[in-house]
Structure formats: C-alpha cells, structure tokens
Chain A
C-alpha cells in the first residue's frame, strides 16, 4: 500500500491518493493535479523543461519520484505571478523575447528564479549562460534568455533594496 502523499503546491495543500509508487512528481503535477504548465521534454533529466522548485531548490521533476517528496513545498510556473502581476522573471522573459514556442519556458523561468536565488551568477553573462545550460531551448532563444535573467536579477535586487 502506498500511503497518501501530501504536497503543498504554490501554497495550496494537496492530499494525493497514490495507488502506485511509480509516478514522478512531474506526472503527479500534470496528470493528477492538473498543473500542466510544467512540461515534459525528455522525462530523463536532460532538458530541464520540467524544472520546479522543491523547498526552494530547482529540481527536475521528471527525475523525482513523487513519494520521495512527501510533505514538500513545491513551486511551479503557475505559482509565480501574484494576483495578475507577473513575477519579474516572467516579465523580463516577455520583454526580452526570451522564448519562441514557449515549451521550454516554464522550465527556463523556474530555473532562472532558482539561479537568481542561488546568488552565484550575479550579472556575469557567461555565468548566467552556464547556470542556465541545464535548460535546453530547441528554438534557441538563448540570447533573449540570458538578457532576461540579467534584467530580472537587477529588478529583483532593486525591489529588495526598496523594501529594506
């Protein structure tokens, strides 16, 4: 018997009745909770389309068995905007044309949110490119993605300064 799973996703608590140990976090989000913003590009940790934040850290949800994150706080692309206002990373992606087809975009954005929070890349374009290189974009919107991350980091830093 698989115990019920508790997940807090974008602030909402969900009890997920799992009759099966196999579902990944990605498939639980998409197929059982109906949060289809998170995408499946490869299902084996090679493209980053499924990136979500688990307890604040970016993870590939396709490589994460759902039962292994019982009790976790998960943030997905659906949980970033606040009351109709885009998160600064989302806004920067639109303004810098950091996507084309949009399929990699939820993963890119979650990864960018994670990268900025990690505080490792700063303003350095080369380090941003490295830090974002776990997220493939077959449309190759990379120039815009790098600009968007830089732009968003500055905005977030600005917001932080203003709120101090």
Chain B
C-alpha cells in the first residue's frame, strides 16, 4: 500500500456530476446492438472451437474417436491430452489467491460432469459442434459423490477467499444457559450457477509472440498476467479487451481451462479462434454457489435481546479444490450479541469447484440468519422488525469496532413506511386478498461489506478544454462507464460531456477487480485522484504566472469547475484550462492517481452497507403456489454516484433474492453426477412476470472513512435480506417455516 496517493480534494469538488441520475453513457450502443461482447468479434480467418465435455462425474476418459472427428468436413484440429502442447503454468496449480484449479487437458482424469475433455477446431461453428459430438467418449467411470451425505466432510483451512473458517467471541453456552428462550433453525440452500446471460466466450489471435484476447473479464490486468504466464510471453505482449461484459456476477473473474485451450488452439492452427460455451456448459467448469446446510441457535432474554448466537454451516466444494461458501460469516457483523460462534465444515462432492457468486456467503448466510431471527421473534411474540431493532448493533459485533457509518435504523424506518408495515398482525394466516389468497409480510435485514481493492488511473487535460480518463475499469452492467465518468468529470473539474472515459482494455492503467461491490469505490478513488492531480498541476502553472488572473492565489487557493480554475476567495476571477495550457505552451497536462483504502481507517472501522427489505407474498390456499407480489427495499450505501443506476443494481439484486427464495436450484443426479436441469427450461430464474413490483429507495448516508469519496457499493447487497424476507412472508401467509431454498410448493403441503 506504499503507493497510495492521498486523494487531494483541494482543487476539485465531488458533486457537480457525481450524484446526478444520468442515463447510461453506453445506452445508445446497447440499444442499437453496437456494444461488442467477446463473441461478437470476427477477425479475418476466424476458426471456431467447441469443447466436448464429460458426461460422467468421476473416473477417466478411456477413448475418444479423434479420427471420426478429424474426417468430418471442415474440422481442422482436435486437441486431447495426447497432443495438447505444454503450458507455462500448471492448470492444477494455485499461482495466486484468485487461481482456481482448472482443466486444460492436462490428463484424462474426470472430476465432474461437464468437464472439458477435448477441443475441436473447425472452419465453421456447425462443423466444430459436429466434430465434438463425433468424439463419442468412453469412460472408466466411478460412482459419483453428490449431496451432503455422500461427500467427504472435512475441516477447511479457510472459507470464501482466505477467511478463517471458525470464529468465537464470548461464551455461547453460557449465553444459551442464561437465555429465557432458545430457538433452533435449520436451513438448506442449493447449488446455484451464475448463468450470466452472455455465455463465456473468447476470441484469441496470435501475431508472432503477441497475443490478443477478446474475453469478458472482471479482473482485466490479473487475467492479462495469467495469460502471459500460461503462454510464456511477457505481460506487455498480451492485449486483453473486455469493453462490455454480458453479466458476470463473479463468474467472469477467474481464468478457466477452455479459455487457455482456445488460445492454444489459435497458436496451433495459426489462425484466430473463437470459443463460445453453450448454455449447458455454463453448468460445469465456470464455478457456482456451493450448497449449504445451516444450523442456527439463538438465545434471547426476556427483553428480546440476544444472549448468544451460533451459526454453523456445511458448504460443498469440489473433490480437488476449495471454495467454501462462507455462509455462517453473515452472522458476524449484524446483530448485537454478547456471545457469538460460527463454524464451517466442508464437504467434497463431484461437481466443479464453486466460486464467488453475487454476495458469496452473505446471500445464503443472510437467508439463514434472517429466517432464524424471524423464528425467534415469533416465539417471543414480538414484531420481527421490533426484534431486529432491539438487537441493533452500535458497534461491529465481531470486532467491537465502530462502524464507519451505519444508517440501518433509517433504512428500517424508510422501508417500513414505504411498504406500509404498521398494523401487521403478529400471527400467521391472518390476511387474505380479494381473490382469497393467503397474504403474508416478512422483513429481512440486508448487509454487505464495503471493501476496496487497488486501482490506478491516468488523466489528461487537453488545450481544447476536454479531458480524458484512462483506466482498465470493467463495465458488466453495473454502470461503471457512466458512474466512473461522472467521478472523472468532477475530478477533472469539467462538464461530463467534455470527458472521455477509456476503459475495458489491459492497455490502460490497472483498474483492479470488479468484485466485492468495491469497483466504484476503488476505481472511482483512483480516477478522482488522477483528475485532481492534473488540476493541481494546472493550478501550479496558473498561480505562478503573472499573466493569469489567478496569479498569487496560492496553490491551494483555486478550484476547478466546468473547465475553469476559479479563485477560492473570489469566484469572479477565473481562467479557462485551455488558456492556461496555451500560455504555458503545452498541448496537455497529465495526472495520475491510485485508489486504495487508507490503512488507518481500515484498522479502526468496520465498513458495511446496510438495508432493510420488506416482502409481501400471496399463496394460493389450495395449490400453495407462491408469488412475491411486492418487494420494497431501503438501502444506505454511502455516497451514491448515480441514483438511477444504483436503484437498478439494487432492484436487480432484490430480484436475485426472489430467485434465491423461489426459483434457482441446480439438481445433480446422485447416480451420474450430471446436472439434470442444465438449461433455462429446467434451471429457473425469474422472468418479468415473477417480479411485478420491486422498488428500491436510497437512504442518505455520509461516510468519512470508507474512502475520500464516501462510496460504499450497491452491487450485491440487494440479494441479502431479500430471500429471508420472502421466506418470512411465506411463514406469515401460511404458518409454515420453510427449511430449504428455493421454497417449493411441496414444502407448504402438510
């Protein structure tokens, strides 16, 4: 962290452009079909690759009919473990904390169904597809281990990305002994596959020892370096372009085997090669949210205060790598309790390795915790919102640190009033709609950490009054191109239409990782710092120049706004940027900036976004069909750069909560290990009609510690709280406590 440039805020102000609900800068490109995603690239001489995937979950590939594939008209090359050229790095190695073990045909072992086992390259997509089919693999298969009970349990060294698997504060057993009431909640959550609408695709082209890859990437510089290592070329020989990502949700942050095979194929056939995975192949090697089995115990005293909270989770991972959904950690930072204990167990099953999927750990853990809180409130005869307020934490329950900011109380109040929570009957099965459906209301608290990573940016102010901001930032639907341009405009002291933001390419300064809901905070901090660095240099020129109306103002005495520097003590005395540069004989001036958290703030404060989600469900009294008729959320996430886009992120996340509660469920056949519903007909995600009324409200929150801009993040928090709120509303409608997500009709039939 030595290279932090403290964000100089003296010369520019955030707020002229940032904070405005602008429409998306890339809007026209996206509505006209002109935004290019990886698979849209068609370089000259393009060949097409398709990989064959395993239909068994464990064993070995014993034969592939390579000859049959090769004689199919149009097939150019077939790559199998027998002829796969060497790679500069072991795909089974762990080069860094974001390396997942992956399959790039290093051997004939099969470790899960859907694993890549061969790659066919052909003149057309149709020929490559047919070639892959003709391989007709045979296997020496071993029985698949699927599900919590068939897999091998173990104590994981870590959960999530490097988090300790266990935590304890205080004495939970003493807390339970002292409690007036102890409730237990058991919840299972399923495997979920990210299923971004854009299937992962890559186009690779070699020019000598220079490589260009078009590939969606949530971590552009990291992926560029990984490709360079695998192909033994210097990083500067690799250009990675990722201007638009058709949804990532965590699945496009990590390099995977077929991407390497496509690059290899391009080198072998001496032509550019495109590989786009099929929807079915999205259910294998690309990561998923592991299943969890959670057990919570809540001890409560006569006043409704927690005396102890214990949250245990069993999380599934693959047989060959570790990523454990850190579900129990969702209990660390929310409700005040003198005693807190969390524990994770891993179970190895024959699926691909899980990975971070939108709110990893928080989504499943929050679902468990919010159900448990509801159960405790109901047992006490307390309103579930009142119960949450009684257990409101003024400091972080796990660390005891103060929160950098926490407007959760305001979120509860705003959400409850927008929803109309007052007057909710305590007992279940009390409300019906005009059609006779059972109606229930439930609440859940939303919470998500506010991390920062590291990023750099470069700013240029030109004599013609325009500005350029360069950073390898990532547009994956969250609106980075728009929100970051707003920050850039403020950082440069220019109007938005005078600023160009260049992003999405490894040729630009490292914009860091778009994950953990920390991209706007991190990249935005770098951008603001770079912009103000350029303005500071300009101010130096002007205030030392006798010909400038700003002469003598002192370097700190001027402020940039709308393309002019103004004297802070006399707004009328100002000069245009272009005039300052012109007199200095400069065509432009550059600034640099970095974004990272101040270590002192990181040590002192707990940093989280918060929210409150209120759900109304309607349940058919005869068929038990469940509909979420209303979902209302109120969120506090520090400074909001663009309220229009932030609301879209939040409502999108809340609909992921509907999906978690009622829809998504990847079912692996316990005998074969194959995903049985590996398409959108069987793997349900909400359609438009499933989300009739979803609203997000923003609650003001000023945070002076998360970063100089006060930005937290909104990308993932919407998922948390929502699934629990819906499950609690289902109970309120029916009197039945769901114990598995998604909640199915049969769970309500008694």
Contact = CB atoms under 8 A, between A and B. Distances in A.
- Interface of A, secondary structure class, is loop
B125 A27 contact: yes
B437 to A, nearest CB: 15
A40 B278 CA distance: 9
A140 B23 CA distance: 17
Interface range for A: 35 or more
Interface string A35-48: 11111111110110
A27 B656 CA distance: 31
Contacts of B656: 140
Contacts of B689: 126, 129-130, 133
A154 B686 CA distance: 27
Nearest to B693: A143
A158 B244 CA distance: 35
A5 interface: no
Interface in B26-71: 26-37, 39-40, 42
A61 interface: no
Contact of A41 (B28, B197, B692): B197
A100 interface: yes
A20 B28 contact: no
Nearest to A140: B655
A90 B32 CA distance: 7
A94 B197 contact: no
A105, A139, A141: most-surrounded residue (chain B CB, <10 A): A139
Contact of A143 (B39, B196, B691): B691
Contacts of A39: 37, 197-198, 246
B126 interface: yes
Contacts of A141: 648, 652
Nearest to A41: B197
A7 interface: no
Given A40-B276, A94-B28, A76 B244 contact: no
A97 B679 contact: no
B465 interface: no
Nearest to B686: A140
A139 B680 contact: no
A137 B197 contact: yes
A42 B680 contact: yes
Contacts of A119: none
A34 B42 contact: yes
A77 interface: yes
Nearest to A38: B33
A23 B35 contact: no
A139 B30 contact: no
A100 B688 contact: no
B30 A99 contact: yes
B744 interface: no
Contacts of A86: 28, 31-32
Contacts of B445: none
A144 B246 contact: no
B124 interface: yes
A23 B129 CA distance: 11
Interface in A36-89: 36-44, 46-47, 49, 76-78, 80-81, 86
Contact of B644 (A42, A97, A102, A145): A97
A101 B247 contact: yes
Interface string B184-220: 0000000000011111000000000000000000000
A31 interface: yes
Interface string B656-681: 10010000000000000000000111
A101 B645 CA distance: 12
Interface string B101-130: 000000000000000000000001111001
B245 interface: yes
Interface residues of B, number: 62
Contact of A36 (B28, B33, B679): B33
Contacts of A135: 687-688
Contact of A23 (B126, B479, B680, B691): B126
A138 interface: yes
B649 interface: yes
Nearest to B656: A140
For the residues of B in contact with A, the DSSP-based class is: loop
A80 B656 CA distance: 31
Contacts of A49: 197
B655 A142 contact: yes
B197 A139 contact: yes
B126 A20 contact: yes
B692 A129 contact: yes
Given A39-B37, A41-B279, A97-B23, A138 B28 contact: no
Nearest to B248: A101
B736 interface: no
Contacts of B685: 136, 138
B479 A100 contact: yes
Contact of B244 (A38, A101, A109): A101
Contacts of A20: 124, 126-127
Given A20-B126, A43-B278, A37 B651 contact: no
A140 B198 contact: no
B246 A95 contact: no
Nearest to A78: B33
A9 interface: no
B478 interface: yes
Contact of A140 (B199, B244, B276, B651): B651
B694 interface: yes
A102 B125 contact: no
B429 interface: no
Contacts of B645: 97
Given A133-B688, A133-B689, A136-B197, A95 B33 contact: no
A36 B37 CA distance: 9
Contacts of B160: none
B477 interface: yes
Contacts of B655: 140, 142
Contacts of B477: 99-102, 139
B31 A138 contact: no
Contacts of B35: 102
Interface string B4-40: 0000000000000000000110111111111111011
B476 interface: yes
Nearest to A138: B197
Contact of A40 (B30, B36, B39): B39
Given A86-B31, A100-B652, A142 B688 contact: yes
Contacts of A93: 27, 31
A27 B694 CA distance: 36
Nearest to A90: B31
A109 B276 CA distance: 24
Contacts of A146: 688
Given A23-B126, A100-B478, A101-B477, A36 B36 contact: yes
Contacts of B34: 37, 78
Contacts of A40: 39, 199, 276
B136 to A, nearest CB: 19
A139 B198 CA distance: 11
Interface string A107-123: 00100000000000000
Interface centre among A47, A49, A103, A104 (most CB of B within 10 A): A103
A128 B29 CA distance: 25
A161 interface: no
23 contacts: A20-B124, A22-B130, A23-B125, A46-B679, A49-B197, A78-B32, A90-B28, A94-B23, A97-B645, A97-B647, A100-B477, A100-B479, A101-B196, A102-B244, A129-B692, A133-B687, A136-B197, A138-B247, A138-B249, A139-B197, A139-B652, A142-B688, A143-B695
Shortest 9 CB-CB distances between A and B: which pairs?
A37-B33, A101-B477, A103-B246, A100-B477, A102-B30, A140-B655, A77-B33, A36-B40, A46-B680
Given A36-B42, A139-B477, 20 more contacts: A23-B126, A30-B40, A36-B36, A36-B39, A39-B197, A40-B276, A42-B680, A44-B679, A46-B681, A49-B197, A97-B645, A101-B246, A103-B37, A109-B31, A129-B688, A133-B688, A136-B197, A136-B685, A136-B687, A140-B652
